[in-house]
């Protein structure tokens, strides 16, 4: 009687560990968790929040799609560009040079913001 219980508990423990995964960070990526040590921008109600953000060179900016529709993040000058990503997903970009970067969601033309890197 004890043996089936031990087997059942071992199987449950094994299955509980199967749902995790690890991802390496990169200069730009789309994932489901924000990059550590960076600055967050929310995408909700078809707008970026905040619409104006200042960060330092070397910081990572993470945009999170908190909306129910697909978005993307595209700098006007092409400095950074994400693929389209749905709710709960993120795009991260590490600021490697100073400048002012206007960006938009190309799916929603009125969805615009500015990122200043110092």
Low-confidence ranges of the chain (pLDDT < 50): 1-29, 31-32
For residue 62, the tally of other CB atoms under 10 A from its CB is: 20
Q: Look up the CATH number of domain 27-117.
A: 2.60.40.420
The pTM of the whole model exceeds 0.75: no
Distance CA 93, CA 110 (A): 22
- The rounded percent of the chain whose pLDDT value lies above 70 is 68
pLDDT of residue 35: 52
């Amino acid at each position: 009687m004890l043996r089936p219980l031990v087997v059942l508990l071992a199987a449950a423990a094994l299955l509980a560990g199967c749902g995790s995964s690890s991802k390496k960070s990169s200069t730009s990526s789309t994932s489901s968790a924000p990059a550590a040590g960076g600055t967050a921008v929310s995408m909700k109600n078809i707008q970026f929040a905040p619409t104006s953000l200042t960060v330092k060179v070397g910081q990572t900016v993470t945009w999170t799609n908190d909306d129910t529709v697909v978005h993307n993040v595209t700098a006007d000058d092409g400095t950074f560009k994400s693929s389209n990503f749905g709710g709960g997903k993120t795009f991260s970009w590490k600021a490697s040079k100073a400048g002012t970067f206007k960006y938009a969601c190309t799916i929603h033309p009125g969805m615009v913001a500015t990122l200043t890197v110092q």
